[in-house]
Structure 1
Amino acid sequence: MGVEASIEVRAAGGDRTAFTALMTATKADLYRFIRRYVGDEAEAHDVLQEAYASAWLAMRRYDSTRPFDVWMRSIALNKCRDWSRRRSVRRVVRGVMGLDAPEATAVGEDAPMPEARLDDQRRAQDLQHALSELPDALKAPLLLATLEGRSHAEVASILGITPKAVETRIARARKKLVDALA
């Protein structure tokens, strides 16, 4: 009686069903990361598709001793960097709150005042713009650690740098954001 191969090993062997299962398991988190990085929903979907297409093409080279989500995060980060280089004009954030958000349909005393919603939207747009202006070397560690909740060691593994470099880059990114938003 043999031991069943892990889903990652099966995917690396060309098993599309196994790869689809891995994709399903990692898609939501990876999309959130990409969305934060590129700042545009439609572009994020495109970058996500590119990341999974590249992963499928490179799957035979996947090192099963490395966590699949970390490997995918590295691929997605490279695709985000490619997107940044290709993009000459960044899109302006169209709005933070869609019509289907609960706040948009709130009425009565619980509804935020229109001025407060506008202020929140402006602050969110300013933050998104400031994030998009950060250099890749600062943006990636900040997003991975702060917004994704990954440890400095995990971020270091994904980016191929030391945990101390991650800490330094996050501190620099935060300072740049504070300066940009001041």
Structure 2
Amino acid sequence: MSLRPLENTRIDFAEKSDADLMAEVADGDHASFTELMARYKTPLFRFILRYVGARSEAEDLLQDVFISVFSKAASYDPAWKPTTWIYRIALNKCRDYGRKQRLRKFVSITRPDNEDEPGSYTPEPVDLGPNVEDIVARRQEISRLSAAIDALPHKMRSALVLHTIEGRSQIECSEILGVSRKSVEMLVYRARKTLRDKLGYQP
């Protein structure tokens, strides 16, 4: 199934909510599906990329997410927020990916979203002056942090990415993860504590 945006579409979707679009997608409306993709493509890709850490895999998983959104639209329950439902699909895809193979290096949270994938990242030229040791130490620290996040259990990593990195509220995280707000708070706390303990950071 090719998920390419429909060309020359002249429908005005400005007045339509995500829920409206989901209802139309459930009826097989391709134009509404294209609009839904346009709204979610960037944030979903960013989330998936930060979870799996490799651009090519993230692109494939994003494709899989939208295929599932379209194929399962008829079973979508309007009681759910479209955002929650779609992110749950994405989260399950990431979890399944993690079960099949060891996740690649986690994307550094300090890197811009439009950088190349980690394996081909080339740092910007720097002045190799008196601070070169500090620069090298910082890059090594980022690498250690990335590896430590990569090793976190699924739910802890998911909560950390959604809440701390993506900046989503505890309520939204709880809906996506299917746990209570208190559980989200605890998962993020445990994730941070695990990172501190593993990396030797002081509270």
TM-score (norm 1): 0.83
Write the mapping of 1:54-133 to structure 2, written as runs, cut at 5 A: 54-87=68-101, 89-92=102-105, 95=118, 98-99=121-122, 104-105=124-125, 114-133=132-151
CA distance in 2, matches of 1:137, 1:65: 24
The one-letter amino acid paired with 1:66 is W
Which of the two has greater helix per residue? 1
**Displacement, 1:38?**
0.9
CA distance in 1, matches of 2:91, 2:180: 17
CA distance in 2, matches of 1:48, 1:73: 11
**Displacement, 1:178?**
1.0
Write the mapping of 1:3-82 to structure 2, written as runs, cut at 5 A: 6-82=20-96
User: Structure 2: which 5+ runs fail to align?
Assistant: 1-15, 107-116
**Displacement, 1:117?**
3.8
Change (3 A) 1:98 1:113: farther
More deviation in 36-45 or 127-136?
36-45
The one-letter amino acid paired with 2:57 is E
Secondary structure class of the residue paired with 1:6 = helix
**Displacement, 1:84?**
0.5
CA distance in 1, matches of 2:135, 2:97: 31
TM-score (norm 2): 0.75
**Displacement, 1:69?**
2.0
The one-letter amino acid paired with 2:28 is G
Identity %: 36
**Displacement, 1:130?**
0.8
**Displacement, 1:151?**
1.2
CA distance in 2, matches of 1:49, 1:168: 32
More deviation in 5-14 or 21-30?
5-14
Moved over 6 A (4+): 106-109
Mapped contact 2:22–2:82 kept (Cα < 8 A): yes
CA distance in 2, matches of 1:47, 1:149: 22
CA distance in 2, matches of 1:95, 1:59: 34
